[in-house]
Amino acid sequence: LAFFIIFIAFIHAFFAILQSVLSPGKIYGIYEREYAEPYGVFVSRNNYAAWMILALGIPFGLLFSGAVKKDKLLLIGAIVVTGGTSILLSRSRGGLIALVFEILLILLFAIRGETKLKRNLKLASAAALIILVLIGTVFVGTESTITRLAEDSKEIQFEISRQNIWSNSLQIIKDSFPLGVGLGAFGVAYTRYDHSSGIARVEQAHNDYLQIATDAGLIGILLAALFGYLLYKEILPTLKQKDAELRGISIGATGCVIGLLVHSLFDFALHTLSIAIFFLFLIAMIYRINTISITDGRS
């Protein structure tokens, strides 16, 4: 199952890179829609980056845990580089931040308890992969996340800054606390606080944590905190897995989940059903792996 996810990630990343070169701006390379920013199979480049963040953690985890056999190192490494390059080419700044956080977290888990030599080898391998991703991005030659970061912070016409949305969201929380405005009602409630021209409609807070508070108030905050606590309890055993393959998949899935939670600081990818299902599936994988003992035969 883990290798099926890796295979799908590679196919999707390869298609996304090909699309960015041959038919940027067209959905599936066929349909062109105004205001859409398609990438891969998603209409939004940010959603693509979020999906790829979830898919790349497992190959990262397997590589850094030492579970990949020597004859497959090049293959898995190529898949990781392709996926990382596609995230940079997606021009999603939130995706880049989440990817860096995911890599660092998985590395931290993977080098825990290792000898100094092994730690240095894994750190060198991670650095090499990052360099290859950058080289791949330059080689393809299209606009990337890095070029977006280097641009002036000018907002495109009709675009509303996240800072403005977050500021208004905080005011909504203040005015509607403790019950919130109601699930799914953010887009309607926001109009009262929107002082822009109104040409671009704001439907989401572009920060899932703020939107939990705006929509569900104190109850939503408490439920989110409970979810975080239960997730933390499931993550801890990932560091204690003795089997390299199980440990690699487990820490990789953990890196995916936390990476997407970081991405949720800037976007609302979990509002997309396919990404939400993938997210919950990886949490289920962490739970299942943590309940398997080595004597179970990985059943």
* Structure letter (DSSP) for residue 155: P
Checking if the pLDDT of 152 tops 80, the result is no
Interhelix angle 45-65/273-291, rounded to 10 degrees, is 20
Please write the tens of the pLDDT for every residue from 212-259.
999 999 999 999 999 999 999 888 887 777 788 888 888 999 999 999
Confidence bin at 148 (pLDDT 50/70/90): low
Average pLDDT over residues 203-212: 92
> How far is residue 167's CA from residue 172's CA, in Å, rounded to a whole number?
9
Average pLDDT, the chain: 83
Amino acid at 105: L
Count how many residues are written for the chain: 299
To the nearest 10°, report the CA torsion of 32, 37, 41, 42.
-130
Average pLDDT over residues 143-169: 63
Which of these, 71, 34, 77, lies nearest to 199 by C-alpha position?
34
Please write the tens of the pLDDT for every residue from 74-110.
888 888 889 988 988 888 888 888 998 998 888 888 8
Query: Is residue 65 within 8 Å of 110, Cβ to Cβ?
Result: yes
> How far is residue 57's CA from residue 62's CA, in Å, rounded to a whole number?
9
Checking if the pLDDT of 144 tops 80, the result is no
Per-residue CA distances from 172 to 160, 204, 211, 240 (Å)? 17, 13, 10, 43
Per-residue CA distances from 1 to 38, 58, 249 (Å)? 28, 11, 10
User: What pLDDT sits at residue 150?
Assistant: 52
List the end-to-end C-alpha distance of the chain, in Å, as a whole number.
12
User: What pLDDT sits at residue 23?
Assistant: 80
> How far is residue 76's CA from residue 82's CA, in Å, rounded to a whole number?
10
Please write the tens of the pLDDT for every residue from 24-73.
778 877 777 777 788 888 988 899 999 999 999 899 888 888 888 888 88
Is the whole-model pTM more than 0.75? yes
Residue 31 bridge partners (DSSP): 27
Which of these, 83, 87, 86, 90, lies nearest to 60 by C-alpha position?
83
User: What pLDDT sits at residue 210?
Assistant: 94
> How far is residue 187's CA from residue 246's CA, in Å, rounded to a whole number?
43
Average pLDDT over residues 21-25: 80
User: What pLDDT sits at residue 143?
Assistant: 57
User: What pLDDT sits at residue 198?
Assistant: 65
User: What pLDDT sits at residue 294?
Assistant: 43
Confidence bin at 141 (pLDDT 50/70/90): low
Checking if the pLDDT of 19 tops 50, the result is yes
In the chain, DSSP assigns E strands to 26-27, 31-32
